[in-house]
Amino acid sequence: MDSFLKKSARLFKTIFYYQADTTDNIDNKWDKLPTVSEYIVQYPEHSDAANETIKCRFCSSSNIKFQPLMHSRDRREKHFCGACKRTLYKSFADV
Ligand SMILES: [Zn+2]
């Protein structure tokens, strides 16, 4: 019985692991990201609004890249650091 419970727990974890990147989860993560202007307000030491330069708040790299969130026609874009690959903020594509 004890080992059955352990197996069940492991299976349960596996299921959650594979659900970790469902569409809902990606949406939620994106929702929680700051916008560009919020990022500048939150991390003024890593951005210069006057010069429109934004740096990574983790490694201070100015090599910021962006990509559509889910697919090429997704207007939601996530911006991430090209150096340390961490997601920094979000924006909407102008289409
Ligand atoms: Zn970085």
pLDDT tens digits, residue range 14-32?
655 555 567 888 888 999 9
CA of 79 to the centre of ligand 1 (A): 11
Residue 53 and residue 46: Cα distance in Å, rounded? 9
CA of 2 to the centre of ligand 1 (A): 46
Residue 36 and residue 78: Cα distance in Å, rounded? 10
CA of 51 to the centre of ligand 1 (A): 19
C-alpha separations of 84 from 13, 30, 33 in Å:
28, 18, 17
The pLDDT of residue 21: 62
The pLDDT of residue 53: 85
C-alpha separations of 37 from 41, 43, 90 in Å:
6, 10, 10
Sign of CA dihedral 66, 68, 73, 75: negative
The pLDDT of residue 4: 78
Residue 37 and residue 20: Cα distance in Å, rounded? 29
CB 87 within 8 A of CB 33: yes
CA of 31 to the centre of ligand 1 (A): 21
The pLDDT of residue 82: 97
Listed by start position, the domains of the chain span: 1-32, 33-95
CA of 89 to the centre of ligand 1 (A): 12
pLDDT tens digits, residue range 42-74?
999 998 767 678 999 999 999 999 999 998 899
The model scores a pTM over 0.75: no
